[in-house]
Amino acid sequence: MIINCDIGERGPDHPVDIALMDHIQMANIACGGHAGDADSVKAFRSRAEKTEVKIAAHLSYPDRDSFGRTSMDIPINKLKASLTEQLSLLQDIRCVKFHGALYNDSVVNSKLAESLTEWLCENSMQQIVTANGSELAISCKKAGIECIHEAFAERRYDYNPDTKGLTLVSRKKEYASISDCQEALEHSELIIKSGRVLAFVEKTNGTLEKKQIPIRAETLCIHSDSTIALELAQGLQKLIKSGS
């Protein structure tokens, strides 16, 4: 298990982001679609190379106003053009992780997943970071692109018994994120040691219950803008080492 982090979203010299680089193994560097610019990409690429941290290009809907967290009804040719422009900041990198709404949409939307896979192939991508069983993972596997399956260390999950699908709780809901570090570590420990996650299941009467659901992950994601990001990264490092 490795730790990945969505990073470089708050400029080239944010102190928490800089500190996080000492506790992660993969940096998903924002390339301007939702955040980041040439200066921040250069700065975090340099730090990643010095510390031998793997780099992924973190690409999104072209939506800086909403931080890439709102789904966009955008023609696929325009989306591909934007992704190509974003990738130009890390044009030699062959690993991609999509961000926010684009990531979530690619989990459930097979048509979008196929279009994104086409773009990945057109740009000679070798790896994609996504959820196991997602539409994007299914499409990329067919195309011969390696999938690095991830789970989220400080985000809660929904489970749909009908589709057997795990999805992140919408950020519109107040319980979408975990703000207590100890809870996030317990959430992550279950994933690491048992390959299961405690997810919310909506019952027919509208009430919610929690249920442990199998999940496959080779990497755990931390969002750098989480209030517990640095403390969580340090705790996860110890947790992973203790289980190795």
pLDDT tens column, 128-159: 999 999 999 999 999 999 999 999 999 999 99
Q: What is the pLDDT of residue 204?
A: 78
Concatenated DSSP letters of 108-136: H-HHHHHHHHHHHHHTT--EEEE-TT-HH
Q: What is the pLDDT of residue 163?
A: 87
Kindly compute the dihedral angle of the four CA atoms of residues 98, 111, 152, 223, in this order, to the nearest 10 degrees.
30
Mean pLDDT within 50-70: 97
pTM of the entire predicted model = 0.95
Q: What is the pLDDT of residue 205?
A: 82
**Which region holds residue 147: left if phi is over 0, alpha if psi is between -120 and 50, else beta?**
beta
Q: What is the pLDDT of residue 244?
A: 55
Mean pLDDT within 185-202: 96
Local structure of 232: helix, strand or coil: helix
Show me where the domains of the chain are located.
2-152+217-243
Percent of the chain at pLDDT above 70?
Answer: 99
115: pLDDT strictly greater than 90: yes
Structure tokens at 143: 């195309």
Q: Which helix (H) or strand (E) holds 214?
A: strand 208-214
Mean pLDDT within 55-68: 98
CATH 3.20.20.370 assigned to 2-152+217-243: yes
